[in-house]
């Protein structure tokens, strides 16, 4: 998924919602982004508060990033020096966001 696609998808959400990725049944909070070799890497953590939608969009909404693909990696909280370098596509993020959006719309 390209960055611009994620930005357009997130514009449908409430601005104060927090951004999460679901991985193996765990909800991981997106806490920061990092640009690595023309890709956007979403940094996640299971112990920190995630970025709010508006904060995330401020970090992400830069014209130079629009065509970059998006990946994520999980910083394990058990050992601050160890970082999981396994990058995975955001396919799961998109599915989770779509499920969340549909649930949000059905509750309105």
pLDDT digits (tens, 9 = 90+) for 52-72: 999 999 999 999 999 998 887
The pTM assigned to this predicted structure is 0.65
| Domain assignment of residue 57, given as a range | 3-107
CA distance 23 to 78: 17
pLDDT, one tens digit per residue, over 73-83 is 655 534 333 33
Whole-number pLDDT of residue 103:
65
Give how many domains the chain has, as a whole number. Answer: 1
76 versus 29: which is more confidently predicted? 29
54 versus 108: which is more confidently predicted? 54
Q: Give per-residue burial for 7-43: e unless 16+ CB within 10 Å, then b.
A: beebeebeeebebbbebeeeebbbbbbeeeeeebbbb
């Amino acid at each position: 998924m390209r960055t611009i696609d994620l930005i357009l998808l997130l514009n449908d959400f409430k601005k104060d919602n927090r951004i999460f990725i679901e991985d193996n049944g765990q909800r991981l909070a997106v806490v920061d982004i990092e640009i690595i070799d023309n890709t956007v890497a979403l940094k996640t953590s299971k112990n920190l508060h995630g970025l709010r939608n508006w904060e995330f969009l401020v970090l992400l909404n830069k014209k130079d990033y629009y065509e970059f693909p998006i990946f994520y990696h999980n910083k394990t909280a058990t050992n601050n020096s160890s970082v999981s370098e396994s990058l995975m596509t955001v396919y799961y993020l998109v599915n989770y966001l779509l499920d969340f959006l549909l649930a949000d719309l059905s509750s309105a």
